[in-house]
Amino acid sequence: MHLSKSTAIIIIVVVAAFLIGVGVLVGTHVSGGTPTNGASLSPYSAVYLSTGAVYFGILDWSPSPHIEDPWFLQSGTNAQGQATAGVYPFSQVAWGPSDAVYFNSQDIVWWTRLSSTSSVAEAMANPAAGAAAQQPNGAPTQQPPTPTSTSTASSSLK
pLDDT, tens digit, 9 for 90 and up, residues 83-129: 888 888 888 887 777 788 999 999 999 999 999 998 999 988 888 76
- Around Cβ 56, how many Cβ atoms within 10 Å? 26
Annotate 50-100 with DSSP letters as a single string: TTS-EEEEEEE-SSS-EEEEEEEEEEEE-TTS-EEEEEEEGGGSTT---SE
Q: Are 146 and 87 in contact (CB under 8 A)?
A: no
Digit-coded pLDDT (tens) for 143-156: 334 444 443 333 33
Distance, CA of 120 to chain centre:
11
Q: Across all residues in the chain, what is the average pLDDT?
A: 75
87: nearest Cα among 125, 43, 50, 113: 125
Give the pLDDT confidence score for residue 25 in this predicted structure: 62
Among 12-26, 39-53, 100-114, name the one with the lowest average pLDDT.
12-26
pTM over 0.85: no
Amino acid (one-letter) located at 82: Q
